[in-house]
């Protein structure tokens, strides 16, 4: 049996050898800066946790009322106190660092695990999710649970990003204005890991953990100027996470820098007998190794946008002018770093969500502008949702009488005024499936997803052009990489403005490097070189230190 890789998270040497920052400004401090301050004695875990709690009170509960933190951990200060004076080490590379986790990630403590659902209000979990155990073992202070789009945006058609019936609406810290008529953000915070992203962007925690099935890490990271890693399915355990679809579900870090994302991924990426898919995991000993400014030299990066074939350009062809400029500037930076840019359209983007892979669902959302039309969510999501969610409720949920998706549907109907502001059309469709994945339409849809996204999509494109990575604007490429089960790394690239036909303050736009299974290390190196050369992240305005 292979020995597990040594995980010093790359943070220990940096914290010990580097000079501590003169002033620790938590509105924009990286996790590495915070680690240096802890190692040097400039601050201790208790003071650090109290400062984050003060920022949450000032900006999440008060001020712009960002609503990113759904619930605080009542034991956070006690945990921090026990870590005061603990030295960063290979065993505890996150000692004393406050971290938020999305409220679909189980904690076996006093905090509820609700997925933002009124039906699961007060529900707890029988144990920590595997990734929470890894965070605790690494010395992290679990500060609380982040708000999210309810059930990771699988409850209703056109539910606003960052809304949950239990937690309310998360706001984008760069542009927190809501539409007067509907209370929906003009600039979305991104979904479904909205709270996880906003909390990091606003300096309410050192880092966070979110989840993704298709875009739920990448979209909020782009909207909030963050780095995230959407891992290969199987790199990070899903045991104890309220699911959508096991074929694509994963969890990943949300941080302010690429190095911090690599540090946190070191902790999260571990084999777990509770999630057998992790047994095939392949990872390096340290994701921070090789993060250098010259990692781009000679790298072949595909840009799926062929000027000679403009009608087949779903990723770049419809970008607004300012977004197009952000991407053009990013590509120039990559070329200046020595990357080889290959412009060629992907062979099968039009197949994604194509024949046999989606289900017709009538949109009854009373606040949707598309009410009465037919939505087409993925077949795989709806069929796996019933099976996987029922298993979670049976095996993990405690302190609740809810034991199935059918129970949730019934509860929501009985409490429609509060629970069904945007309806539950997806859950109604999922509840009509057998729940055992025996249907031929499910098997066919899953096979088609793999054929179009992996075999004839990413694999064919990367093989044909001998690519190291594929570059997508924002989260535009999330679907093809997610269906393939392949990794993506998001990094801030610039700022844009305007949404829904309205003028807005500037807010971030990121770029995504996507690649083959288990290529996170390569993608992180490419993202790091770009990050260091471009330095495009800026914290949200108006949220100074408290």
Residues recognised as catalytic: 102, 192, 216
From residue 290, alpha-carbon distances to 60, 235, 262, 337, 489 in Å are 37, 20, 11, 16, 16
Check if the beta carbon of residue 219 is closer than 8 Å to that of residue 475. Answer: yes
Distance CA 110, CA 121 (A): 13
Count CA atoms closer than 13 A to 363's CA, side-chain side: 16
Residue 291: CB atoms within 10 A of its CB come to 21
Residue located via tokens 């943070």: 11
Distance CA 29, CA 80 (A): 19
Q: Residue 375 in 3-state DSSP?
A: strand
Distance CA 213, CA 477 (A): 13
Enumerate the H helices of 206-287 as residue ranges: 218-223, 258-268
Closest CA to 283 of 264, 297, 269, 267: 269
Q: What is the greatest pairwise CA distance in the chain?
A: 62
Cβ contacts of 62 within 8 Å, gap of 6 or more: none
Expressed in percent and rounded to 5, the helix, strand and coil fractions of the chain are 35, 15, 50
Distance CA 492, CA 515 (A): 18
- Where b means 16+ CB within 10 Å and e means fewer, 529-540 reads bbbbebebbebb
Torsion of CA 276, 280, 281, 282, to 10 degrees: 170
Count CA atoms closer than 13 A to 461's CA, side-chain side: 30
How is residue 349 annotated by DSSP? G
Residue located via tokens 């339409």: 441
Check if the beta carbon of residue 427 is closer than 8 Å to that of residue 437. Answer: no
CA distance from start to end of the chain: 51
Torsion of CA 193, 196, 198, 202, to 10 degrees: -170
437 dihedral zone (left: phi>0; alpha: psi -120 to 50; beta)? left
Distance CA 184, CA 177 (A): 9
Counting Cβ atoms within 10 Å, is residue 194 exposed (0-12), middle (13-18) or buried (19+)?
Answer: buried
């Amino acid at each position: 049996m292979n020995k597990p890789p040594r995980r010093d998270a790359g943070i220990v040497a940096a914290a010990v050898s580097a000079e501590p920052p003169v002033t620790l400004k938590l509105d924009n401090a990286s996790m590495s800066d915070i680690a240096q301050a802890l190692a040097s004695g400039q601050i201790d875990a208790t003071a650090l946790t109290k400062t984050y709690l003060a920022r949450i009170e000032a900006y999440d509960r008060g001020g712009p009322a960002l609503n990113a933190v759904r619930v605080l951990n009542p034991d956070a200060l006690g945990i921090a106190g026990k870590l005061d004076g603990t030295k960063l080490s290979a065993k505890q590379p996150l000692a004393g660092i406050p971290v938020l986790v999305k409220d679909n990630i189980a904690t076996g403590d006093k905090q509820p695990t609700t997925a933002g659902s009124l039906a699961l209000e007060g529900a707890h979990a029988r144990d920590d999710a595997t990734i929470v155990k890894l965070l605790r073992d690494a010395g992290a202070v679990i500060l609380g649970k982040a708000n999210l789009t309810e059930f990771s945006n699988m409850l209703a058609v056109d539910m606003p990003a960052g809304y949950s019936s239990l937690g309310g609406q998360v706001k984008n810290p760069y542009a927190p204005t809501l539409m007067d008529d509907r209370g929906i953000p003009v600039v979305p915070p991104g979904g479904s890991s909205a709270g996880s992203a906003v909390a990091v962007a606003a300096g309410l925690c050192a880092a966070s953990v979110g989840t993704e099935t298709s875009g739920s890490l990448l979209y909020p990271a782009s909207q909030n100027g963050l780095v995230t890693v959407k891992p290969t399915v199987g790199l990070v355990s899903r045991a104890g996470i309220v699911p959508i679809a096991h074929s694509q579900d994963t969890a990943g870090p949300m941080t302010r820098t690429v190095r911090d994302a690599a540090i946190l991924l070191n902790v999260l990426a571990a084999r777990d007998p509770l999630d057998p898919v992790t047994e095939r995991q392949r990872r390096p000993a340290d994701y921070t190794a090789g993060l250098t400014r010259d990692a781009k030299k000679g790298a072949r990066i595909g840009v799926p946008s062929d000027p000679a074939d403009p009608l087949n350009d779903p990723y770049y062809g419809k970008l607004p002018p300012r977004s197009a400029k952000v991407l053009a500037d990013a590509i120039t930076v990559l070329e200046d770093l020595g990357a080889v840019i290959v412009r060629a359209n992907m062979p099968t983007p039009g197949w994604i969500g194509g024949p046999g892979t989606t289900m017709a669902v009538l949109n009854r959302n009373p606040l949707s502008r598309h009410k009465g039309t037919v939505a087409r969510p993925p077949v795989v999501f709806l069929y796996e949702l019933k099976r996987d969610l029922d298993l979670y409720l049976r095996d993990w949920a405690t302190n609740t009488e809810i034991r199935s998706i059918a129970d949730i549907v019934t509860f929501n109907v009985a409490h429609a005024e509060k629970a069904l502001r945007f309806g539950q059309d997806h859950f109604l469709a999922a509840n009509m499936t057998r729940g055992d994945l025996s249907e031929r339409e499910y098997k066919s849809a899953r096979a088609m997803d793999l054929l179009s996204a992996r075999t004839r999509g990413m694999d064919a494109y990367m093989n044909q052009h001998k690519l190291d990575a594929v570059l997508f604007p924002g989260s535009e490429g999330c679907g093809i990489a997610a269906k393939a089960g392949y990794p993506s790394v998001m990094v801030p690239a610039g700022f844009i403005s305007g949404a829904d036909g309205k003028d807005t303050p500037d807010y971030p736009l990121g770029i995504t490097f996507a690649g083959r299974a288990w290529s996170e290390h390569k993608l992180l190196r490419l993202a790091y070189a770009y990050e260091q050369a471009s330095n495009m992240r800026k914290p949200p305005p108006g949220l100074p230190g408290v």
